[in-house]
Structure 1
Amino acid sequence: MNGVMELKYLQTLKTILETGSFLGAARKLNYTQSTVTFQMQQLEQKLSVKLFEKIGRKMVITQAGEDILPFVETILQSVEQLENYGKRTKELKGNLKVAMPETLLTNQMQPVLKAFREQAPGVKLSLQALNCYTIRDQVVNGGADIGVHYDVGGYGASMVIEQLADFPLSLIASPSLENKFCDFITEGQRSSVCLITNDRESIYQEMFDNYLKEKDIRLEGIMELGSIETIKQSVNSNLGVAFLPRFAVENELENGTLQELKTGLFDRNITAVCVYHKNKWITPAMELFIRLSKECLSHTS
């Protein structure tokens, strides 16, 4: 088995762990499942270790497999580093996995993505729109190279956290919402208004839930919808109120299709951060994406 083949097998091993199965790796790499199985058998023979064992119907990585993963990651990162050494930005190759919440992806990060594609067209950029707590865990576990999201804490000493920008939050409602339902200041209220959210576990939703609890304000129910755009349309249709980063509703507030309600959270912000593992080699693609994020978001807060 020559060196080139061994690198291919290591990449297959990494892909199995990223996708969670031999079948998932085969689909992502455009292999047959039997090819993936053969490669892992060859790799096991070369390394003299058992990498996977069958538990029920699933192939699960062994402890020996877990132990060698840091070495596999180091080898693959070193190869990418060599391939990109001395290249101009437009010649960069490789993969970059970035995770961010929908609000940032839709509203703030579009200029970053556009600039990155223009400056590094050869890099395969993989984007995931996830909850901020999930993003933190993905970066910690190696599921994402970079997390651009709202600071939720709990990163530990192994993470590098760079602040990007602070953003204010707004409680929004339809202009046709009755005045008696617009009061979110007076304590002890019981309201028939519904709360609309795109992520029940988001950091800003948690802030608003805590505020309602402190004020002893109870709303009638909660509606969880799939996108920010759907939320704005639903609020405009007077189906309920929503608490979101203000930049996500700036245009609607300016043109009067939505109104902002007063709360005791008028001075509260959320902080967007860029997070990556401190032991991970900062590829030129990562370095470019982080720099563009800093440049673009620093002008928006």
Structure 2
Amino acid sequence: MELKNLLTVKKIIETGNYKNAARALNYAQSTITFQMKQLESELGIQIFEKNGNRMELTQAGLSILPIIDRILASTKELICYKDSIGEIRGTLKVALPETLITYQIQPILRAFKEKAPNVKLSLQVMNCYAIQENLINGNIDIAIHYEISKYPRSITTNAIKTYPLVLVASPALDENQRDFISSGQKKSICHIQNDPNALYLKIFNQYLKEKDIVLDTELELWSIETIKQSVMSNLGIAYLPRFTVETELKQGKMIGIETEINNGEITAVFAYNKIKWMSPALRLFLQLLETSKLVEISE
């Protein structure tokens, strides 16, 4: 049985189909098809079935996935084994949202690179739902995100910190546009946002719906810094974790707008699969997280 065929199974799960997996692995698509036929012949089962443009695991494929993960984890354990002088090597895959990587986790990343310079640190920025899915599927080693739902029992989760959220605007915003408490309004204001699936945006959009407040337009920008600059230019308002705009609020470049949002905070967590082998790189990163000033609560 070829180890590369097992790696291809994981890449198909990650990318969604044979074509995308071939592109990611720099293979011809016919190579991917051959690998899967070879593996299915060896195991006597069908691993994938087509559903539209996606290849999804069959029930048999789901059943063997934990075994594939154990084999690949054992292989990774050999590759990452410390040499005689105790250097940590290998690859560590960490997924996290833009707000946390930009404003909270930088000191931990810097400390990790100082202590483990020979580790390839792969940072993947995505929304919380995609991060959780990728950890469950075994595509990443550590998930850092805002808490959205419970993980399976095989996943260990630790709280980092609970952060307040804030609605911000430019000081130049007209006084009569600053009312976000009265119900039944149609406001000629632009809602500036990044990923519409971001947890804090779902909280704000639900509040607008409950209050029957309709904003005139939306502007989607995939950069928190660009959103901040746009708010300061009075192009609209934004609902963000307060730590992302704390400096601008203190400097008077932005103002906080009062709301009646009851659950106006989010909790950041980090999670990893406790069943998988813990590489020295993963152990070090977890130690840095757990001993940092960020972490307030551990479960």
User: Could you tell me the TM-score, scaled by structure 2's length?
Assistant: 0.83
Alpha-carbon displacement from aligned partner over 1:227-251 (angstroms, at most 9, x marks no partner): 1122112211212111101111122
Q: CA deviation at 1:204?
A: 1.2
CA distance in 2, matches of 1:195, 1:57: 34
> 1:43-65 CA deviation, whole Å, 9 max, x = no partner?
44544445456789877655444
Question: What corresponds to 2:24 in structure 1?
Answer: 28
Aligned CA RMSD, in angstroms, stands at: 3.1
- Which string of whole-angstrom CA distances, capped at 9 and with x for unpartnered residues, describes residues 272-291 of structure 1? 00122343333222222222
Contact 2:144 2:270 in 1 (8 A): yes
Aligned to 1:286: 282
Kept after mapping to 1: 8 A contact 2:191/2:238:
yes
Larger mean Cα displacement after TM superposition, 222-231 or 153-162: 153-162
User: CA contact under 8 A between 2:159 and 2:295: conserved in structure 1?
Assistant: no
Q: 1:11 maps to which residue?
A: 7
The equivalent residue for 1:92 is 89
Q: Write the deviation string for residues 150-171 of structure 1: whole angstroms up to 9, x where unpaired.
A: 1112434343211011212111
CA distance in 2 between partners of 1:60 and 1:273 (Å):
29
1:73 aligns to what? 69
Q: In the alignment, is the contact (CA less than 8 A) between 1:89 and 1:120 conserved in 2? A: no
Specify which of 235, 241, 265 is matched with residue 237 of structure 2: 241
Deviations 1:82-113 (A, max 9, x none): 343455774321x3332211111222122222
- Higher percent of residues as helix: 1
TM-score, scaled to structure 1:
0.82
Separation in structure 1 between the aligned mates of residue 51 and residue 262 of structure 2, nearest angstrom: 53
**Equivalent pair of 2:108/2:288 in contact (CA under 8 Å):** yes
Shift of 1:194: 2.1
**Structure 1 residues 187 and 38 mapped into 2: Cα distance closer, same or farther (>3 Å)?**
closer
CA distance 1:258–1:13, change in 2 (3 Å): same
2:173 aligned with 1:177: yes
34-43 or 72-81: bigger deviation: 34-43
66-75 vs 261-270, which deviates more?
A: 261-270
C-alpha separation between the residues in 2 aligned to 1:233 and 1:57?
39
- 1:125 alignment partner in structure 2: 121
Please give the secondary structure, in 1, of the residue aligned with 2:14. Answer: helix
Confirm or deny that 1:192 pairs with 2:188: yes
- Residue among 126, 137, 157 paired with 1:141: 137
Distance in 1, matches of 2:94 and 2:223, equals: 19
Larger mean Cα displacement after TM superposition, 29-38 or 175-184: 29-38
Structure 1 unaligned segments of length 5 or more: list them. none
1:153 aligns with 2:149: yes
CA pair 63-215 structure 1, distance change in 2 beyond 3 A: closer
Q: Which residue of 2 aligns with 1:277?
A: 273
One-letter amino acid matched to 2:132: R
Change (3 A) 1:220 1:282: same
* Secondary structure of 2:245 counterpart: helix
In structure 1, how many angstroms separate the alpha carbons of the residues matched to 2:150 and 2:55? 31
Aligned residues: 296
- The question of whether the paired residues in 1 share the 8 Å contact of 2:146 and 2:266 is answered with yes
- Asked if 1:212 is matched to 2:201, the reply is no
Q: Aligned in 2, Cα 1:246/1:17: closer, same or farther, shift over 3 Å? A: same
3-state SS of paired residue (2:124): strand
Please state how far the C-alpha of 1:198 moved relative to its aligned partner: 0.8
- Distance 1:267-1:200 versus aligned 2 partners, 3 A rule: closer
* Aligned counterparts of 2:20 and 2:122: Cα–Cα separation in 1: 16
Could you list the runs of 5+ residues in structure 2 that have no partner in the other structure?
Answer: none
Q: From the superposition, tell whether residues 124 and 182 of structure 1 become closer, same or farther in structure 2 (CA, over 3 Å).
A: same
SS at the partner of 1:9?
A: helix
Change (3 A) 1:23 1:169: same
Provide the C-alpha distance between the structure 1 equivalents of 2:87 and 2:274, rounded to a whole number of angstroms: 26
Q: Percent identity?
A: 50
Q: Match of 1:166?
A: 162
Deviation (angstroms), 1:300: 9.5
Structure 1 window deviating more from structure 2 (106-115 vs 69-78): it is 106-115
**Aligned amino acid, residue 89 of structure 2:** L
